[in-house]
């Protein structure tokens, strides 16, 4: 049983198992449908399965209905990106002309750039473009990726990831 529980990531717990438990509890409380299980193995399977059904129903039926009624509007990912991560100031990693086009066309909400001072003219120009982008927009988060910033991040295994090499 412990091996099965270890295989369930935090993501699966919150997207499938947890909603399944809540649904089964509410079904018994409000509709007198007995879905609460005494056997832990059967309970985990049933709650996980109920959560998967709820998730699938939501994506196949509920989401299109909410879009049709214009209750929700999803972002067009062809027009917007959430994060632009620049790995180096070198021309082949960060061209000022291409950077300007990306910032203008896709309007990233977060820009992560190298934490070291650019040593090339193209890198210096790119850094100036990023700072200007931050200054003229109210929403972007601009992060200098320094060793201190990396040390401040949560450990990936806290999010349920396995086989991580540090």
pLDDT digits (tens, 9 = 90+) for 47-85: 999 999 999 998 899 888 988 898 887 766 667 788 899
- The whole-number average pLDDT for the span 29-34 is 88
Q: Measuring CA to CA, which residue among 72, 18, 82, 81 is closest to residue 50?
A: 18
Q: Considering the domain boundaries, does residue 116 fall inside one?
A: yes
Closest residue by Cα to residue 45 from 72, 16, 79: 16
Same domain, 6 and 62: yes
Same domain flag for 95 and 141: yes
- Would the CA dihedral through 130, 131, 133, 138 be positive or negative? positive
What 3-state class would DSSP assign to 50? helix
On whether residue 75 sits in a domain, the answer given is: no
Residue owning tokens 């509920």: 62
Q: How many domains is the chain partitioned into structurally? A: 2
The pLDDT of residue 94: 87
Per-residue pLDDT band for 114 (boundaries 50, 70, 90) equals very high
Expressed as residue numbers, the domain containing 142 is 83-152
Residues 60 and 119 in one domain: no
pLDDT on residue 147: 85
- Indicate whether 146 and 88 sit together in one domain: yes
């Amino acid at each position: 049983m412990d091996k099965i529980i270890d295989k369930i990531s935090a993501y699966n717990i919150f997207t499938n198992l947890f909603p399944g438990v809540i649904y089964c509890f509410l079904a018994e409380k409000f509709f007198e449908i007995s879905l609460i299980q005494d056997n832990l193995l059967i309970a985990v399977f049933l709650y996980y399965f109920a959560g998967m059904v709820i998730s699938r129903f939501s994506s196949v039926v509920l989401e299109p209905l909410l879009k049709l009624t214009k209750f929700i509007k999803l972002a067009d990912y062809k027009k917007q990106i959430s994060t632009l991560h620049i790995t180096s100031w070198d021309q082949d990693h960060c061209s000022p002309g291409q950077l300007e086009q990306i910032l203008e066309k896709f309007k990233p909400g977060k820009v992560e750039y190298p934490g070291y001072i650019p040593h090339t003219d193209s890198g210096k120009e790119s850094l100036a473009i990023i700072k200007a982008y931050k200054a003229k927009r109210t929403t972007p988060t601009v992060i200098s990726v320094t060793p201190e910033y990396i040390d401040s991040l949560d450990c990936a295994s806290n999010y349920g990831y396995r086989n991580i090499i540090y």
